[in-house]
Amino acid sequence: MKKKVLIYGITGQDGSHLAKIYLNKKFVVHGISRKNKNWNKNLKFFKLSRKIKIFKISKNYKNLIQILKNDYDFIFYLGGPTSVIASYDKFEEETFDSQIVPISIILEFIKNQKKNKSKFMYSSSSEIFGDQKKERLNEESPKYPQSPYALSKLIGFEIVKSYREMFNLPVFSIIFFNHESILRDKNFIFKKVSNYLRKKNYKKKINVGNLNILRDWGYSDEYMNILYKIMQSVKVDDFVLATGKSIKLSEIIKLFFQSQNLNYKKHIKIDKRLFRKFDIKQNYADIKKLKKIIKIYPKKNFNHLIKLFT
């Protein structure tokens, strides 16, 4: 009998890449989506729509228990908001309820399974660390969330950890640092700059925010392949998933424009409205645990992404 996987948030960037991987591995793949206007565009891009059963989740989550009764071997939670700025709008409904309620339901369901407990992964974020100067951040680093998004991701992380430790469940979190792919929304910086360069309408400048922020950027497809390996591992634990290499946003944009023999300073306009008051200035990832236990780590950093987008 084929193994079954459930991906909560299957139509997003990560969910679509992960669905492709599991279908290639001959798994039965089911997904959960809130089905907004363009809910299926990523799965259609990979021509996966007809190969996956997708459930629409109700606002009160009453049908989630019924979905979980399909006896999944693996469950991934990749849902919730993807934008820190957007997390301030309707944050109780969109930021907290969309994460804390469903993962609590899933964890309770797994706890009550009598045998063959589903293995569960929760998608956390490097935003939970806040701004910590030049310290390399690992799974045990102090957490200082500075936005509703970050706080909700930290609460989810702690809930999963407590269920694992209290009830000995096969549940864990991945602390994702920034990662991109061609499936990204047009408002994310890599897609925004690449679209500008592709259109070649250089009479108009591109609006950008704080160019001095420093991040660790990786490739979503590679991250999901590593996530697959982590899920197959016997070890159940939390992991930081990043490249271990950080770079300023100004350098990213400079490299983008250099690839087209352009001076980025002539094509950008700093827009103060795009600055975040509590924006994290820099983060550096420590991926020693990933290397030691899983024995695999991302090799495609910002250089690969720039080539991918240009």
Q: Is the dihedral of CA 88, 93, 96, 99 positive or negative?
A: negative
- 108 Cβ neighbours under 8 A, 6+ residues apart: none
pLDDT recorded at residue 133: 76
**Which domains does the chain carry?**
4-179+218-241 (3.40.50.720), 185-215+245-283+301-309 (3.90.25.10)
pLDDT recorded at residue 224: 98
Instruction: Give residue 17's identity as a one-letter amino acid code.
Output: H
pLDDT recorded at residue 90: 57
Q: Low-confidence residues of the chain, pLDDT below 70?
A: 35-39, 81-95
pLDDT recorded at residue 180: 95
| pTM, two decimal places | 0.93
Neighbours of 260 (CB within 10 A): 13
**Cα angle 305, 150, 59; round to 5:** 100
**Is 163 in contact with 105 (CB distance < 8 Å)?**
no
* Alpha helices, DSSP H, located in 137-236: 148-167, 189-199, 220-232
pLDDT digits (tens, 9 = 90+) for 59-101: 788 899 999 999 999 999 998 766 555 545 555 566 678 889 9
* Beta-strand pair 74-77/136-137: unpaired
pLDDT recorded at residue 235: 86
58 burial level (CB within 10 Å; 0-12, 13-18, 19+): exposed
Strand, coil or helix: 195: helix
